[in-house]
Amino acid sequence: MSNSESGSGVGSRAFDVDSIRADFPILNRKINGQQLVYLDNAATTQKPAQVIKSLTDYYEQTNANVHRGVHTLSIEATDGYELARTKVAKFINAPRREEVIWTRNTSESLNLVAATWAEANLSEGDNIVITMMEHHSNIVPWQQLAFKKGAEVRYLQHDDEGVIDIDGAGGVIDSRTKIVAATHMSNVLGTINPIAKLAELAHDVGALILVDAAQSVPHMPVDVQALDADFLCFSAHKMLGPTGIGVLWGRYDLLEAMPPYMFGGDMILEVTYEDANWNDLPYKFEAGTPNIADAFATGAAVDYLSALGMENVWKHEQELTAYAMEQVLSLDNVKVLGPQDPALRGGVISFIHDTIHPHDLGTALDQQGIAIRTGHHCAMPLVRSYGVVAAARASFYIYNTKSEVDAFVNGISETEGYFSR
């Protein structure tokens, strides 16, 4: 079948940035006449030829609907779709493949938990504990649920460098806490949060821990069992995969007890004119024809990363981040948000320039072919807590190099020169 070469036998491959870069057609692009330097990886990553090919292969050779046909194509489509689920399960060390639910993205995964598990388990006076550095998608669903239920959203504090006050967490998480929902790695500060420790505090009071792993699963080894997580969410497009598909992983017993999120085809076992009952996991949460092609491509993305080894991915990004932090911090007019110690953070560097607004900087860097993110990064309360309305952010991935970091830092200096003319 079409996905045989990205099948179960994933070989390993040396972590060689030049050979990695050769897999990414878009890196050859010129932007405004300059060589593209893509540093907006926390927003979405670029896609290697292997992932793009898995999509065209699927549509050219396998396309059919899943779980319902007896014809060959439908069987192949189903096998490939389910094989991708198995790959994802292995990638995060899930105990069972049925615990991996395909969603549209991290936001949908978070909304699913809020609308099903939390809807069924929260009462008036209960509380939900999140951090002050969450993405809007891990704030707003909880706020809305809390309004509806008469529950409370509580915040874990962090210090000036964006490090969670874990000693103070015991005073926030209490007997009325039903769930602790925390980002594994902040998309603004780069902070890596102590999830296993938060899980322990949550479990001590009988609460669950949900992990927003959108910024961690793509970049470091993540093991849901080692974290002692109850739910974990991420998106494929931030880890070389396609847009439009994400993952909710949840503990089997929790998922089993939860009501469905959406109703329709594939999620039912039996329908009468009077009633219906629900299919087994994971299908109970996958109503309608799923995103089959993108599941195939997600499998290809997991294969690509697995062959490199997530330890090596993490090591590369740590080296690059340390190098970039040193360079950026040496600039006179730049303040970096989040931990100043590279060992405490991932490859996301948000910064504020004393005199140049992030959007002016973003436009100027774009003129030099350098793509960074500017704005509130979907974390308005956090960015505002630093006394600004917007920040600039550079974020790295497997194909970025030290010379690209140099180009970026030089680009900031060029922009300073331009605006002080």
Q: Is 233 a catalytic residue?
A: no
Q: Which among 113, 247, 352, 378 is annotated as catalytic?
A: 378
Does residue 405 contact residue 320 with C-beta atoms inside 8 Å? Answer: yes
When the beta carbons of 284 and 373 are compared against another protein, the nearer one is 373
Residue 381 interacting with another protein (CB under 8 A): no
DSSP of 60-129: III---SSS--SHHHHHHHHHHHHHHHHHHHHTT-S-GGGEEEESSHHHHHHHHIIIIIHHH--TT-EEE
Residue type, 318: Q
Interacting residues of 250 by C-beta distance below 8 A, sequence separation 6+: 99, 101, 113, 117, 230, 231, 232, 258
9, 33, 273, 274: residue in contact with another protein (rule CB under 8 A)? 33
Per-residue b or e along 255-269, where b marks 16 or more CB atoms closer than 10 Å to that residue's CB = beebebbeeeebbbe
Q: Nearer Cβ to another protein, position 107 or 298?
A: 107
> Count residues contacting another protein (CB under 8 A)?
28
Give the integer Cα–Cα distance in Å for 179 and 188. Answer: 23
Q: Which of 7, 13, 17, 34 binds another protein (CB under 8 A)?
A: 34
Least distance from another protein to the Cβ atom of residue 392, Å: 11
For the beta carbon of residue 369, count every other beta carbon within 10 angstroms: 18
Confirm or reject binding of residue 406 to another protein (CB under 8 A). Answer: no
Residue type, 282: P
Nearest to residue 321, comparing CAs of 219, 395, 238? 395
Answer for which of 155, 323, 386, 419 binds another protein (CB under 8 A) is 419
**Cross-strand partners of 183:** 212
Torsion of CA 218, 219, 225, 226, to 10 degrees: -170
For position 139 contacting another protein by CB under 8 A, the verdict is no
Instruction: Tell whether residue 368 is a contact of another protein (CB under 8 A).
Output: yes
Look at the block and give the residue holding tokens 């730049």: 334
Q: Answer yes or no whether residue 380 interacts with another protein by CB under 8 A.
A: yes
Contact between 371 and another protein per CB under 8 A:
no
Binding pattern for the stretch 320-359 against another protein, x by CB under 8 A and - elsewhere:
-------------------------------------xxx
CB of 133 to another protein, least distance (A): 17
CB of 383 to another protein, least distance (A): 7
Is 63 an interacting residue with respect to another protein (CB under 8 A)?
no
CB 100 within 8 A of CB 282: yes
* Smallest distance, another protein to C-beta of residue 327, A: 18
Cβ proximity to another protein, 322 vs 331, nearer residue: 331
Interface positions with another protein (CB under 8 A):
32-34, 357-360, 363-364, 367-369, 374-376, 380, 383-384, 388-390, 411, 414-415, 417-419, 421
Which residues are tagged catalytic?
Answer: 378
